Amino acid sequence: MDMQGSRTLAVTQQQAWEALNDPEMLKACIPGCEKFEATEPNTYAVTTAIKIGPVAARFSGRVLLSDIVPPQSYKIGFDAQGGVAGFGKGEAAVRLAPQDTGCELSYTVHSTVGGKIAQLGQRLIDGAAKSLAEDFFRRFDEALQNRYPSAAAAATAVVPTAPEPAARKGMPSWAWAAIAVVVAVVIYLTTKG
């Protein structure tokens, strides 16, 4: 599965970077996430529970950050096992770019799944990935607004009646959503290029 997309965030590039590197914030934003803990520098153990169609499972895995260029970009490698339900693995690239009213998070994701999950069919998996990604971004936006209320208020004041960006509608996933999607099946995520 290959996904890409972008998302406009109403915070500075540095604020978005800090949030994307906060395990507690990510744990709270990733749907079904039970654990997101640092095990060594740039490596995290992740456990998440999801249900896709008739298959429900708990996936445990590892997330590894590499090619880190603060506060602009990094790559994410991930792999997760869900017992008989299957596995997910892949990689994602996340990039943050400053904009007039905040920053843009963009992402690309390449992932594979196997086991019972893979037997569900691409349409069902894609639909679940979109749903997980949208849920992640809704939670992430809310968490950013709570953490940085003045940045969110400033962005609203600059563009008081701006329509929702097209990238938010029907967006497949972001890089951290990719983690949610890949670790939980898989993310994009997104996360976030």
Q: What is the pLDDT of residue 155?
A: 54
Q: What is the pLDDT of residue 169?
A: 31
- Does residue 152 lie in a domain region? yes
Indicate if the pLDDT at residue 119 is higher than 90. no
Rounded Cα distance, 42 and 108, in Å: 19
Its sign, for the CA torsion 179, 115, 49, 62, is negative
- Does residue 121 lie in a domain region? yes
- Does residue 11 lie in a domain region? no
Of residues 187, 183, 185, the one with CA closest to residue 53: 185
- Does residue 43 lie in a domain region? yes
Indicate if the pLDDT at residue 58 is higher than 80. yes
Quote the number of domains for the chain: 1
Indicate if the pLDDT at residue 69 is higher than 50. yes
Q: What domain range includes position 166?
A: 2-6+23-59+83-184
The partner residues of 93 in beta bridges, in order of sequence, read 75, 108
Q: Determine which of 23-37, 124-138, 148-162, 176-190 has the lowest per-residue pLDDT on average.
A: 176-190
Q: What is the pLDDT of residue 2?
A: 80
* Parallel/antiparallel/unpaired status of strands 43-52 and 2-9: unpaired
Q: What is the CATH number of the domain that holds 169?
A: 3.30.530.20
Q: How many CB atoms lie within 10 A of CB 161?
A: 5
- Does residue 77 lie in a domain region? no
Q: What is the pLDDT of residue 120?
A: 73
Give the rounded distance of the alpha carbon of 147 from its chain centre: 18
Give the pLDDT band (50/70/90) at residue 124.
confident
- Does residue 68 lie in a domain region? no
- Does residue 175 lie in a domain region? yes
Residue with tokens 């490596």: 43
Give the pLDDT band (50/70/90) at residue 57.
confident
Mean pLDDT of 172-185: 37
Residue with tokens 């843009």: 104
Amino acid identity for residue 161 in this structure: T
How far, in Å, are 126, 140, 177 from residue 143 at the CA level?
Answer: 25, 5, 15
Q: What is the pLDDT of residue 154?
A: 65
Indicate if the pLDDT at residue 47 is higher than 90. yes
3-state SS class at 127: helix
Give the pLDDT band (50/70/90) at residue 153.
low
- Does residue 13 lie in a domain region? no
